[in-house]
């Protein structure tokens, strides 16, 4: 995973003129796991998290969706319940475009555009893996921070800074560990000058070392 942070592209709504928009407040759910599908969505501003709840009620973040990303086309096409919940992060709002399932099913070209975009997203996920349960937690956290820096960061010299719109608990849910472990590791990495964390701004100050940790699977 490189940190050649490029200028952000303007998000183009591929859902067309029939799309409406909805702003999610911090932590607000767009839909819940098990709900019947009613629409297809595209992230316009901020990002959203897809979460999965285990039978015992523990919540895990399965994916973060960035501006331009489309979801959940498969459920809309076959009518199956949403396999996950969709929420805004706890610290910030998110804006999504919305097209009803009925409109989607009446418009094969729209369905094709959504499918093409989701193929691009799948390729991105496979080319920049964040976490595997078999990896040590240090590997998972370093990959997560590098992915966020690649996706959201601004590079100045050898430093990359971004607004961390996830809480420490959400970071833990994303990489499959405890909040206490994330706090301990981040405190250690701050002490060793790998990162700086100022309120909601996270700066990677030693990208090379984080790459080393991320490759130590």
pLDDT at residue 104 in the model: 93
Q: Which CATH number fits domain 20-127: 3.40.50.11030, 1.10.287.70, 2.60.120.10, 2.40.50.100?
A: 2.60.120.10
pLDDT at residue 198 in the model: 82
- The 8 Å CB, 24+ separation contacts for 136-140 are 136/216, 136/217, 137/175, 137/177, 137/181, 137/185, 138/185, 138/213, 138/216, 139/213, 139/214, 139/215, 139/216, 139/217, 140/175, 140/176, 140/177
Question: How is the chain split into domains, by residue range?
Answer: 20-127, 137-214
Q: Which CATH code for domain 137-214? A: 1.10.10.10
pLDDT at residue 3 in the model: 52
- Structure confidence by residue, pLDDT tens digits, 66-119: 899 999 999 999 999 999 999 999 888 999 999 999 999 999 999 999 999 999
Which residues in the chain show pLDDT less than 50?
1, 6-7
């Amino acid at each position: 995973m490189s940190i050649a942070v490029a200028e952000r592209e303007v998000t183009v709504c591929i859902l067309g003129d029939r799309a409406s928009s909805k702003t999610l407040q911090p932590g607000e759910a767009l839909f819940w796991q098990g709900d019947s599908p009613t629409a297809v969505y595209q992230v316009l501003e901020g990002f959203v998290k897809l979460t999965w709840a285990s039978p015992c009620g523990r919540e895990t973040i399965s994916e973060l969706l960035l501006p331009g990303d489309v979801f959940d086309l498969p459920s809309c096409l076959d009518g199956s319940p949403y396999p996950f919940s969709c929420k805004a992060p706890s610290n910030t709002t998110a804006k999504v475009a919305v097209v009803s399932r009925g409109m989607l099913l009446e418009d094969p070209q729209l369905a094709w555009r959504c499918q093409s975009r989701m193929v691009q997203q799948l390729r991105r996920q496979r080319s920049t893996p964040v976490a595997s349960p078999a990896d040590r937690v240090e590997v998972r956290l370093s990959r997560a921070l590098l992915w966020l820096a690649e996706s959201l960061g601004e590079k100045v010299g050898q430093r990359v800074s971004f607004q961390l719109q996830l809480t420490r608990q959400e970071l833990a849910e994303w990489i499959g560990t405890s909040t206490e472990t994330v706090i301990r590791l981040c405190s250690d990495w701050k002490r060793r000058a790998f990162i700086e964390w100022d309120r909601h701004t996270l700066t990677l100050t030693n990208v090379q070392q984080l790459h080393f940790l991320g490759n130590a699977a």
